[in-house]
Amino acid sequence: MPLTLIEKRSTLTIINSDNEKTLSELEQLYPEKWMLLEVTDDENHEPQKAKVVAVAEEDMELVDIWKKCGRNGINIALIHGVYIEPQPAVVV
């Protein structure tokens, strides 16, 4: 039996901020959200500072914007804000 999509709720918010912040600052500003960032400063290819392009609850919602930014030569990073709820732990 094929699955049917009943409802899709988009959580995508385009921000295009001009404010540059460190990644740790951005993680605190957007808890529980995926962020697509324009990297403005990096050290050895590790983003240090960035501007927020867009945020969403699901990372897949940011893919089309990520591709468009990449085609336009914009240095992009995808990060997740801090988790509010405890996350599963892996015990080895």
Give the DSSP per-residue string, the chain: ------------EE------EEHHHHHHHSTT-EEEEEEEEEETTEEEEEEEEEEESSGGGGHHHHHHHHHTT--EEEEEPPPSSPPPPP--
Is residue 12 situated within a structural domain? no
If one counts the domains in the chain, the total is: 1
> What pTM did the predictor assign?
0.82
Domain that holds residue 76: 24-80
The answer to whether 35 and 55 have CB atoms below 8 angstroms apart is yes
**What's the confidence (pLDDT) of residue 15?**
94
Is residue 2 situated within a structural domain? no
pLDDT digits (tens, 9 = 90+) for 2-30: 666 566 678 999 999 999 999 999 999 99
Is residue 89 situated within a structural domain? no
Is residue 15 situated within a structural domain? no
pLDDT digits (tens, 9 = 90+) for 58-74: 999 999 999 999 999 99
Residue 56 has pLDDT above 90, yes or no: yes
Is residue 44 situated within a structural domain? yes
